């Protein structure tokens, strides 16, 4: 999302406009903590923070939500505003490139308003430094003029709640992290929670979904509600066109085969990375740049889109010498894992080359 968007009514859709997919995603968002599925520890802690603020008749502490994409950080920000019945202002780190951009947003906040700052780790350094003072003292210093004649004019802003979201909390400076009164790490969902998410979404979408169909889709959703809802919509399309409209286990399997999502949730890119690693490089180790060239993708795409899930699924390992396919990756591709030496070199595949690379004499023929 670019720029800044203000939602006076938190129940309004986050993303207005003609884009049907994004409008459907907005419609599926829970509107309260009671509706929010999963993240039980975070939900309980957050409910205490909000209830305590209501009883004090004050604004809640600033909240930092971290974790991989698609786990509900934006949804929780909207729920926070709804729970305390406050307006919601939405912006993102990349949209704030200058301190003046942030000063304009902060100076226009109403008392008690919730400011949601997505991708907060991508905010510029001057804006970060201005945010320190705003979060702690509800004040910003506006610099007028340049050079020795520059003057700082303090500007008081009304108390507000900042909700920051980040997928890379390690990139946040320590002073910024320390100013959040409550920090929460969002974890990947268990299959049982994803089944509940799918059951709720199917009811909102009017999609007949059997329990075994929910199990099948949940098992291929990478522990991520956003992916689960997206797969549900694609399975719905398949069921309406090529079946009787009911999403059963068999229908879900047939649909996800068409959309190239296998039983472990790997898509075309994931399998291309594993197949290149195994087929072209004997399982590795190989550098990520070389691997990206082999699959015809940018390095960033392989490193940030495919690799995190493959590592979490135990199919790929990062080593000092490069990426290595694990035995589970070979098995998943229907191949027999090779034996490896202590330094990761492959012994069973291309034995002469493996021995030669380690400075050993080649084995005699036969």
| H-assigned helices in the chain | 20-28, 40-56, 73-83, 99-107, 125-137, 174-178, 191-205, 211-219, 225-242, 249-258, 268-279, 288-295, 299-301, 307-312, 327-332, 351-357
- Pick the catalytic residue: 226, 236, 271, 323? 226
The catalytic position among 4, 29, 73, 179 is: 73
Which of 166, 167, 224, 326 is the catalytic position? 167
Say how far residue 16 (Cα) sits from the centre of its chain. Answer: 22
Q: Which residue has the tokens 């406009």?
A: 17
- Is residue 168 among the annotated active site residues? no
Helices (H), 57-124: 73-83, 99-107
- How many helices (H) and strands (E) the chain has is answered by 16, 10
Active site residue 193: no
The enclosing H or E element of 114 equals strand 114-118
Q: Does the annotation mark 146 as catalytic?
A: no
- Quick one: which of 69, 75, 68, 115 has its CA closest to 95? 115
Catalytic residue among 4, 74, 75, 224: 74
Beta-strand relationship, 88-92 and 182-185: unpaired
The active-site residue, picked from 29, 89, 91, 118, is 118
Question: How many angstroms separate the CA atoms of 313 and 331, rounded?
Answer: 13
Known active-site residue 139? no
How do 182-185 and 161-166 pair as beta strands?
unpaired
Q: Using CA atoms, how far apart are residues 161 and 46, in angstroms rounded to an integer?
A: 13
Task: State yes or no: is 118 an active-site residue.
Answer: yes
Q: Which residues are known catalytic residues?
A: 73-74, 118, 167, 226
């Amino acid at each position: 999302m670019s720029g800044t968007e203000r939602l006076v009514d938190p129940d309004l859709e986050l993303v207005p406009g003609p884009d049907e997919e994004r409008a459907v995603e907005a419609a599926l968002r829970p509107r309260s903590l009671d509706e929010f599925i999963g993240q039980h520890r975070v939900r309980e802690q957050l409910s205490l923070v909000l209830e305590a603020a209501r009883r004090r008749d004050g604004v809640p502490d600033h909240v930092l939500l971290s974790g991989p994409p698609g786990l509900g950080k934006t949804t929780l920000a909207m729920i926070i505003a709804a729970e305390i019945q406050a307006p919601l202002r939405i912006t993102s780190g990349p949209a704030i490139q200058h301190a003046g951009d942030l000063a304009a947003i902060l100076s226009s906040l109403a008392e008690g308003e919730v400011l949601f700052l997505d991708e907060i780790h991508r905010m510029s350094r001057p804006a970060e430094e201005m945010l320190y003072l705003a979060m702690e003292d509800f004040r910003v210093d506006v610099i007028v003029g340049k050079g020795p004649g520059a003057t700082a004019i303090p500007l008081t802003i009304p108390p507000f709640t900042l909700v920051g979201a980040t997928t890379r909390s390690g990139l946040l400076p320590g002073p910024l992290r320390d100013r959040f009164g409550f920090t929460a790490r969002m974890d990947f969902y268990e299959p049982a929670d994803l089944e509940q998410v799918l059951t709720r979404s199917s009811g909102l979408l009017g999609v007949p979904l059997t329990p075994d169909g929910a199990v099948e889709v949940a098992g291929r959703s990478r522990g991520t509600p956003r992916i689960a809802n997206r797969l549900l919509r694609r399975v719905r399309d398949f069921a309406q066109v090529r079946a009787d409209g009911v999403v059963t286990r068999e229908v879900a399997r047939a649909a996800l085969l068409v959309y190239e999502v296998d039983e472990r949730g790997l898509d075309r890119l994931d399998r291309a990375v594993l197949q290149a690693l195994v087929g072209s490089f004997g399982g590795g180790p190989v550098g990520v740049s070389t691997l990206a060239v082999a699959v015809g993708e940018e390095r960033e795409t392989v490193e940030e889109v495919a690799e995190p899930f493959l590592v979490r699924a135990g199919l790929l390992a990062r080593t000092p010498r490069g990426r290595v396919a694990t035995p589970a990756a070979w098995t998943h591709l229907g191949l027999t894992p090779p034996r490896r030496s202590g330094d990761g070199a492959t012994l069973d595949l291309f034995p002469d080359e493996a021995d030669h690379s380690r400075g050993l004499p080649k084995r005699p023929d036969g």
